[in-house]
């Protein structure tokens, strides 16, 4: 019988109590309101999301990447592993405690990815970072925008759906990307309205699903011409 998880910390958030639990040296569980958000054992789609996004911009000098959502840090780690030494990666994470956990007990999972000199962390809504990139000079735009948020397209919450995945948000993300840039998004499953929004905004949509064992989450790779 597996050992139970030990509660490391519990913090209130606007969406409910967020908890970090540990079992053994490298086995972690993140929950909110008692529901599992992510575990260290199931990280394949986060890694695949980053790898596919970076493959689309391989070879770019000084690539600039924006990651929305930090989680356990696996998407960031895979992004860093795929990019060159001159890349710059900005991570936008709303909850400062998640950043603190990734610098602390979770650092063992990702070889302390937040300590990489290529990384900047901003404790902000990723959509606000994108707005600023749209209003700034071309040099401030991104070669890849990767969203690994715990609620993907079709989350069933209309306000959140509109804020993150609605028409205006997709339009701004398109404008925040350099030509040939990629918008990569994780989702629990395929969501046809989001696919239509991407295509209507003139993204070239390449979508895939994980091909091995485990949940068949959706991974959207949308390339700006």
Domain limits for position 5: 1-41
Same domain, 18 and 90: no
Assess whether 30 and 107 both reside in one domain: no
Q: Are residues 18 and 103 in the same domain?
A: no
Q: Could you tell me if 15 and 73 lie in one domain? A: no
Residue 58 and residue 37 share a domain: no
The tens digit of pLDDT for each residue in 1-48 reads: 678 899 999 999 888 899 999 998 899 999 998 888 889 988 888 999
Same domain, 71 and 130: yes
**What is the number of structural domains in the chain?**
2
The CATH code of the domain that includes 151 is 3.40.50.150
pLDDT in tens, 49-92: 999 999 989 889 999 999 999 999 999 999 999 999 999 999 99
Residues in the chain: 225
- Give the whole-angstrom CA distance, residue 63 versus residue 199: 24
């Amino acid at each position: 019988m597996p050992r139970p998880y030990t509660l490391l910390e519990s913090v209130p958030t606007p969406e409910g109590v967020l908890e970090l639990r540990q079992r053994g040296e490298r086995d972690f569980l993140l929950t909110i309101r008692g529901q599992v958000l992510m575990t260290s054992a199931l990280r394949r789609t986060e890694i695949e999301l980053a790898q596919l996004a970076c493959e689309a911009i391989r070879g770019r000098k000084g690539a600039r990447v924006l990651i929305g959502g930090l989680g356990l840090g696996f998407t960031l780690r895979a992004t860093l592993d795929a990019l060159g030494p001159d890349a710059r990666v900005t991570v936008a994470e709303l909850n400062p405690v998640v950043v603190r956990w990734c610098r602390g007990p979770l650092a063992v999972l990702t070889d302390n990815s937040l300590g990489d000199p290529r990384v900047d962390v901003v404790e902000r809504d990723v959509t606000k970072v994108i707005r600023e990139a749209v209003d700034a000079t071309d040099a401030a735009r991104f070669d890849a925008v990767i969203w690994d948020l715990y609620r993907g397209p079709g989350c069933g919450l209309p306000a959140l759906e509109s804020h993150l995945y609605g028409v205006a948000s997709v339009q701004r993300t398109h404008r925040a990307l350099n030509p040939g840039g990629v918008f990569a998004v994780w989702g629990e499953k395929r969501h046809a309205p989001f696919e239509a929004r991407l295509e209507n905004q003139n993204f070239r949509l390449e979508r895939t699903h994980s091909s091995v064992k485990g949940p068949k989450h959706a991974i959207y790779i949308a390339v700006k011409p």
